[in-house]
């Protein structure tokens, strides 16, 4: 089943996180049927779903699973503690469209951390 958001996306993020763990979540991902699965530069597995709420908003739910990630890579709990357990992130992203161009952007608040996320469709 096709989905209005299907395509190849460039994922970029910035964060206020100031801890010792290096974040490596940027890269490319393909949305297919409103879902995506990818591994980032640290080999952390990201599984996400996207639900269009209206013409301007998309709900994103992402599960980051670092269990097979690089040995020096960890995520953080809501209290900022390092973990190798899966972490779920939920947010509502702003949706912008112009012709076949799509961009989703917004922020993910998780514990004390705020991550600004942008996903731009770069191909079919």
Please tell me the distance from the alpha carbon of residue 10 to that of residue 121, in angstroms, as a whole number. 6
Q: Which two tokens stand for residue 110?
A: 């998780």
Residue 96 domain-assigned?
yes
pLDDT of residue 3: 73
Residue 2 domain-assigned?
no
Task: Tell me the pLDDT tens digit for each residue of 48-71.
Answer: 999 999 999 999 999 999 999 999
Residue 88 domain-assigned?
yes
Q: Taking Cα atoms as reference points, which of 104, 65, 55 lies closest to residue 85? A: 65
**Domain of 107?**
7-123
Please tell me the distance from the alpha carbon of residue 82 to that of residue 84, in angstroms, as a whole number. 7
CA distances from 54 to 4, 58, 93, 95 (A): 12, 7, 11, 9
Which CATH number do you get for residue 78?
2.40.128
CA angle at 14 for the pair 12 and 19, rounded to the nearest 5°: 130
Q: Tell me the percentage of the chain whose pLDDT exceeds 70.
A: 96
CA distances from 100 to 6, 97, 103, 109, 111 (A): 11, 7, 10, 29, 35
Q: Taking Cα atoms as reference points, which of 95, 121, 122, 120 lies closest to residue 106? A: 95
Split into its structural domains, the chain has a count of: 1
Q: Taking Cα atoms as reference points, which of 100, 95, 99, 98 lies closest to residue 119? A: 95
pLDDT of residue 16: 87
Tell which wins on pLDDT, 23 or 75. Answer: 75
Residue 1 domain-assigned?
no
Task: Tell me the pLDDT tens digit for each residue of 15-50.
Answer: 887 776 677 788 899 999 999 999 988 999 999 999
pLDDT of residue 2: 52
Residue 50 domain-assigned?
yes
Please tell me the distance from the alpha carbon of residue 28 to that of residue 111, in angstroms, as a whole number. 26
């Amino acid at each position: 089943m096709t989905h209005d958001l299907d395509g190849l996306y460039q994922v970029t993020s910035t964060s206020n996180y100031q801890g010792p763990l290096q974040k490596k979540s940027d890269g490319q991902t393909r949305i297919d049927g409103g879902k995506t699965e990818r591994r980032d530069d640290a080999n952390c597995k990201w599984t996400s779903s996207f639900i269009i709420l209206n013409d301007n908003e998309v709900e994103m739910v992402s599960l980051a699973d670092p269990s097979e990630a690089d040995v020096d890579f960890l995520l953080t709990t809501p209290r900022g503690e390092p973990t190798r357990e899966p972490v779920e992130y939920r947010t509502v992203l702003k949706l912008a469209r112009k012709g076949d161009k799509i961009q989703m952007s917004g922020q993910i608040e998780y514990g004390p951390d705020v991550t600004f996320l942008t996903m731009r469709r770069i191909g079919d």
